[in-house]
Amino acid sequence: MKKTLILTTIAAALIASANSYQVTTVDVTSGNAVLEVTTSANAGIVFSYSLTDAGTNDVTLLFFGSVDGQTFNTTPDFTLTLTANGTNTVTTSTDLNVGALGWWQCTVSNANTAPITNAVLKLATK
């Protein structure tokens, strides 16, 4: 009986842990976005976008860290690059160890002549 109770408790804790992800969706089409990750030292990021016309050059997300959400680093702490495919939506994801920097300013750099559209950044923390 004790073994069953312990296993049930462990299973319930694992299910609760698996369901405790928080996903935030941010529209980054129009410029800088600030992401708050003060509740976790790790984050998962999914970035997707398309162009309004033809283009196959890179679109890069630049991430600038901050300890207070007000003053951000002047050079990016990390980048996420994804090659465009014209008007087709492209998507990439990565895991990030954000450490003690609880806020991240995200800037989009587009090397294409066509503007980006439908740019969405999803941030998952646990």
pTM of the model: 0.76
Query: Nearest-5° angle of CA 46, CA 115, CA 73?
Result: 55
* Calpha distance 49→47 (Å, rounded): 7
* Calpha distance 4→102 (Å, rounded): 40
User: Tokens representing 76?
Assistant: 């990016």
CATH numeric code, 21-125: 2.60.120.260
**Which residue in the block uniquely carries the two structure tokens 């007000």?**
70
Residue 122 near residue 46, CB atoms below 8 Å:
yes
For 65-78, write each residue's pLDDT tens digit: 999 999 999 999 99
Averaged pLDDT for residues 82-99: 91
* Calpha distance 79→64 (Å, rounded): 9
